[in-house]
Amino acid sequence: GLGTFALVLAGLAAGAPLLLGPSSLSVVGALLMVAGLLEVLHCFRRVRQDVRRSAYASAGLAFLMGLLVFAAPALAGTGLTILLAASFLIDALQRAVEIWRGRDRRATLTLALAVAGNVGMAVVLLVLWRRSTTWTIAIAGALRVVGVGWNMVMSPVHARDGAEMIRDFNLPDHP
């Protein structure tokens, strides 16, 4: 559910310039911050510690991007665009490290696609920011939220069987 909700937020972020025009940057920033908080909430469901740590970093980047876009629409020119591009490059580097440490061959392909997508988005940001800052940042925000939603949907989470195992401990209902 959280991943699907993040994808809805991504659609809202991408469509914000159509509805609000140049004043849409604060909405995009708020949506990025909400997506970051959703990913933090989803971290508690993740199975492995390394995946959880990666999700915290991704959530922090999304929240930082949102905070910058929300708080400083006047900086939405060069400085903010470079910071957003840098955040995509940092995320790409983080995913590349996960590939290097990786154990699962299927995850390697997914992570390689994530690295390529993040590097591609950084390049697109750096190329297109001169044409339309509002659209560039709205699309960058939407793609960051898509990445957050994708991480939530694709990450392994605790199954219900693990929660039912706690009943075997015979703990009282009210400690």
pLDDT one-digit tens code per residue, 116-148: 888 887 887 777 767 777 777 787 778 778 777
Mean pLDDT of 68-92: 73
- pLDDT at 47 > cutoff 60: yes
At residue 30, the pLDDT reads: 86
DSSP string across the chain: -HHHHHHHHHHHHHHHHHHHGGGGHHHHHHHHHHHHHHHHHHHTTBSSHHHHHHHHHHHHHHHHHHHHHHH-GGGTTHHHHHHHHHHHHHHHHHHHHHHHH---HHHHHHHHHHHHHHHHHHHHHHHHTTT-HHHHHHHHHHHHHHHHHHHHHHS-B--HHHHHGGGGG---S--
Mean pLDDT of 34-43: 84
pLDDT band (50, 70, 90) for residue 156: low
Question: Which percentage of the chain shows pLDDT scores above 70?
Answer: 77
- pLDDT at 11 > cutoff 70: yes
At residue 161, the pLDDT reads: 59
- At 88, list the tokens: 């995509």
Mean pLDDT of 65-84: 71
In whole angstroms, what is the distance from residue 114 CA to residue 21 CA?
Answer: 30
At residue 10, the pLDDT reads: 85
At residue 144, the pLDDT reads: 79
At residue 152, the pLDDT reads: 74
- pLDDT at 16 > cutoff 80: yes
pLDDT band (50, 70, 90) for residue 158: low
Residue 105 host element (H or E) = helix 105-128
